[in-house]
Structure 1
Amino acid sequence: MQAMDFKNKKIMVYGWARSGKAVTKLLLALGADVTVANDGDFQQDDDFLNLQSQQVTFLSQAQDAHLDNSFKYLVKNPGINYDQPLVQKALDLKMPILTEVAVALSTFKGRLIAVTGSNGKTTTTSLIRDMLKSDEQPVTTAGNIGTPVSEVVADLTEKDTLLLELSSFQLMGIPDIQPDIAVVTNIFSNHLDYHKTRDNYVAAKFQITRHQTSNQYLILNADGPDTPHFAAKTHAKVLTFSRQQTGLPAEIKDDQLLIDGDAIMPVTDIKLVGPHNLENVLAAATAAKLAGVSDRAIKDVLKTFGGVAHRLQYLFTVNGVKYYNDSKATDIEATQTALNSFDQPTIWIGGGLDRGDDLSRMVPNLKHVKTVIAVGQTQQKIVDLAHQAGKTVITVKDVMAAAPEAVQLAHPGDVVLLSPAHASWDQFKTFEERGEKFVGALKKALKI
């Protein structure tokens, strides 16, 4: 990515929180004159007071912020929509609109690996990270996975590898990102409340490869409907993966994981469960091989990696029962994938924030479910779904109450699965809090 000159330039940062703080600090270090606008009051913590003492201007009413041509860039929080008045003003002024990732990347000269997609981003990024580390290659991970790039980039040199998980929101604000290795796990119709149309969403995802060169690589899911479009438009070398097709750079053949024709390991030795995770494994292993990781290191990680917290995460086996935490499953499609990952008798815990979804299409996915535990705001919808599928169902208030019920109902050989199919905001602040409360209640019930 091309360097940008921020020295002595006026920059408006829109949105505070962790990424806003991080990019403000970086911009100051790069010599910029920074104004921060926020939709609401600032928490006057040490960061706020320190930055205020360095002449940063803070405006708690973003709609009243005076943005004019004296400002060089608007750097906005990725989650802030482009229809907000301050962003619209920047668009009217034809002012470049960046995310904090763009500011940070403009200072980075090392090897860049970037991962995006509708689902599987965090798992794929985590697998690549662990494979690099297992091969004793230093790697720094940041982006949508939880750490602002601006917090880490100052310590990196041209000899370092930066591994980024990037959302569509972030990619829209990175004008000319050029990853040495880019991965697109899959593309569904997500975040249409933000992007308005699927075409806009796909265009945001395409940003990851738009400026790649013929010396760089793009890894694509061969089974994705948008893959031909991406492959035709990119200038990068394209490598595809599939768990269904063969004859590709990354594939499953004769129950073996093959990368570039090399048999890495039997599929049965991979710890992650579910067909969707086979796709994540294929994507990650392809990227790792391109980065020079040994087959041994890839195999070692895949034999031990049990999943990212709250994403179809294997927890433990107690009395012959396997317990999984999939609190990140905040939509129907994610829960369908989770339910399809098991052919053992399953006790499924579902329910959460009611967004008006019709759950009836989930009936076929309850094939192996023996008991449903319904929770949250959509409890009655889950009950109706269970009845429609001919399944036993019980109701409890929340996931903490569901945990001991599941423990009592489970027998050796069963799976207990929390996969809500709904957001957590009816009862919890985040899906992480929901998952942590569930795991805590399970451990208490199991006395472990």
Structure 2
Amino acid sequence: MDYLVIGLGITGISTVKTLSKKGLNVYAYDSNISSKEDEPEELKDLKYTLIFDLEEVISKEIICIKSPGIPPHNELIQKISSRGIEIVSDLEMAYRLFGDRNLISITGTNGKTTTTMLVNHILNESGKSSIAIGNIGVGMLWEIYSNPEVDYFVIESSSFQLDSTTTFRTKVAAFTNISPDHSDWHGSFDAYFKAKQNIFKNQNPDDKLILNIDDKRLCKLKNEIKSEIISISLEDKNALFYYDKPFIYRGGKRIIDARKLRIPGLHNVQNVLVAAAITNALNISDEDIERACYSFNAVEHRIEFVRELDEVKFYNDSKGTNVDSTIKALSSFENPIILIAGGYDKKVSFKEMFEQYGDRIKKLILMGETASQMQEEAKGVKDINIVKDMKEAVELSYKVMDKGDVVLLSPACASWGMYKNYMDRGNEFKDLVNNLGD
């Protein structure tokens, strides 16, 4: 069997390296690479074939592994699919190549990055070796291949990756929540939700699925789930893991004091519930889980504290790439908020965000494709400005801020079109903020 890797970003490079080192016959194609001179440095000494015309290989018996960012309606992908060629993601290949390793998968619209990193932290702090991989920006195949002694691999699994799976399965998985997102990529919310459900589709009764039963859409899936459901809840004390302010319980036993957590907001209590359930399923003790949760710091770009200046606190939530994640960020603060938002247009409404928390927004600073739409939908927010870039946004926030305010970057939008990714956006924000007052 031959393999064709489409796209040579983080995922593609990781995939080519792994398949090549395993002695498989690999072809690679990237529409942005037009000559051998543009070949990624990491691939130059590997045995594989960089191609510039897909017709060279798509008639062969071949499996195509595509970059998660390439949507199924892409013309190139449609062409390959029309030839009867199987198209899979690196997530699917991880299971096919390394299904005997201890893989843990986590998905959901929001919270999956924090939960992934927290699970990884708990495992490492409890004496296990663990690596967080996947949608957090780490090519999973090469990490698994090159770390044969590692006990666990915790995979943040995106809908893009799950969409192209057929046999993928992990013995322990988690579904944190679901809300509208990525309709531009999937075509509809139903298609997006269906892709997410591949997290449990191939599990069997001996496997475990951590499920947030506060989410009504997820609750409706119960009859379709064959694995053992481990319930978590912020509201229902009948769940195995539940929150009764200020404590987190497992089966009625108090295990974590949420007041001692270093990550703010009720949504992060939910992330801790999921992480505790996952690691408990892996036989980590309550004591180890509790200790690790107290020492865990916020994930970079997720309500990340940047600095305090003139008694104003600045937070970077560039990972807030959809409405629900920004709602959670806004709910984390009681102080007046200067919100910097806007970005790539994913064809969603922002009304819910402003209806719920518009009264907390002292000033709204908008940029990107969605600025005008947000301005129109921001009912109840009286002070709104549209700016051309992040520099102007940060300078304006500094000019209007008062003692006790919170300046929050939480775009509710993807970064595409203005930045390479949310990390670039967040890093620019942090650089600008750290230079204020100089």
- Flag whether TM exceeds 0.5 (same fold): yes
The one of 358, 362, 365 aligned to 1:366: 358
Match of 2:218 among 211, 227, 230: 227
* Pair 1:41 & 2:33 matched: yes
Alignment of 1:158-237 (within 5 A): 160-237=151-228
Shift in Å at residue 384 of structure 1?
5.0
* Separation in 1, partners of 2:363, 2:80: 53
The residue type equivalent to 2:339 in the other structure is W
Partners of 1:110 and 1:158 within 8 A in 2: no
The question of whether the paired residues in 2 share the 8 Å contact of 1:348 and 1:418 is answered with yes
After superposition, residues 205-354 of structure 1 pair within 5 angstroms as 205-353=196-344
Q: Name the aligned partner's letter for residue 146 of structure 1.
A: G
Q: Report if the CA contact (8 A) 2:183-2:347 is conserved.
A: no
Q: CA deviation at 1:264?
A: 2.0
Question: What is the CA-CA distance between 1:124 and the residue it aligns to?
Answer: 0.8
Please state if 1:80 is matched with 2:70. Answer: yes
Contact 1:187/1:226 (8 A) holds in 2 = yes
* In structure 2, distance between residues paired with 1:85 and 1:406: 42
Deviation at residue 37 of structure 1 after TM alignment:
2.6
Q: Is 1:438 aligned to 2:438, yes or no?
A: no
Deviation at 1:412? 3.9
1:3 matched residue in structure 2: none
In the other structure, the counterpart of 1:27 is 19
Any stretches of 5+ residues in structure 2 without a counterpart? none
Moved more, 327-336 or 436-445: 327-336
Tell me the TM-score normalized by structure 2: 0.89
TM-score in terms of structure 1 length:
0.87
Matched residue SS, 1:25: helix
Aligned pair in 2 of structure 1 residues 50, 331: CA closer, same or farther (>3 Å)? Answer: same
Q: Give the match's secondary structure for 2:44.
A: helix
Shift of the 403–306 alpha-carbon distance from structure 1 to 2, 3 Å rule, reads farther
Q: Against the structure 1 CA distance between its residues 392 and 262, is the aligned structure 2 distance closer, same or farther, given a 3 Å change threshold? A: same
| Pair 320,300 (structure 1): closer, same or farther in 2 beyond 3 Å | farther
CA 163–378 in structure 1, closer or farther in 2 if over 3 Å, else same: closer
For 2:89, the aligned partner's letter is T
Displacement, 1:190? 2.2
Structure 2 CA distance for partners of 1:353 and 1:194, relative to 1, 3 Å: closer
Deviation at 1:217, TM superposition (A): 0.6
CA change 1:305–1:165 in 2 (3 A) is: same
1:4-45 per-position Cα deviation (integer Å, ceiling 9, x unaligned):
xxxxx2222222222222212222222222222332325234
For the residues of structure 2 that align with 1:198 and 1:20, how far apart are their CA atoms?
Answer: 27
Query: Mean Cα displacement is larger for which, 435-444 or 425-434?
Result: 425-434
**Matched letter for residue 91 of structure 2:** V
Once the 2 structures are TM-superposed, how far is the Cα of residue 283 of structure 1 from its aligned partner? 0.8
* Residues 111, 158 of structure 1: 8 Å contact kept: no
- Preserved contact between residue 323 and residue 350 of structure 2 (Cα < 8 Å): yes
Whether contact under 8 Å (1:110, 1:159) holds in the other structure is no
Question: Which residue in the other structure is 2:86 paired with?
Answer: 96
1:105 aligns with 2:115: no
Structure 1 consecutive aligned stretches of length 4 or more whose deviation exceeds 6 Å? none
Does the 8 Å contact 2:363/2:381 carry over to 1? Answer: no
Amino acid at match of 2:172: I
Number of aligned residues: 433
C-alpha separation between the residues in 2 aligned to 1:275 and 1:325? Answer: 18
Deviation at 1:271?
2.2
In the alignment, the residues of structure 2 paired with residue 310 and residue 345 of structure 1 have an alpha-carbon distance, to the nearest angstrom, of 21
Q: Which residue of the partner structure matches residue 123 of structure 2?
A: 132
Instruction: Name the SS for the 2:314 alignment partner.
Output: strand
The alpha-carbon distance between structure 1 residues 267 and 446, as it changes in their structure 2 partners (threshold 3 A), is farther
Distance 2:180 2:351 in 1: 19
Where structure 1 has 5 or more consecutive residues not aligned to the other structure, the ranges are 1-8
1:107–1:153: 8 Å Cα contact kept in structure 2?
A: no
Asked if 1 retains the 8 angstrom alpha-carbon contact of 2:335 and 2:406, the reply is: yes
Q: In the alignment, is residue 60 of structure 1 matched against residue 52 of structure 2?
A: yes
Q: Residue type of the partner of 1:248?
A: A
Q: Which deviates more, 99-108 or 206-215? A: 99-108
Shift of 1:440: 1.1
By how many angstroms is 1:257 displaced? 1.1
Q: Do 2:414 and 2:422's aligned partners in 1 also have CA atoms closer than 8 Å?
A: yes
**1-side partners of 2:319 and 2:189: how far apart?**
22
What is the alpha-carbon distance in structure 2 between the residues aligned to residue 197 and residue 143 of structure 1? 24
Q: What is the distance in 2 between the residues matched to 1:150 and 1:97?
A: 17
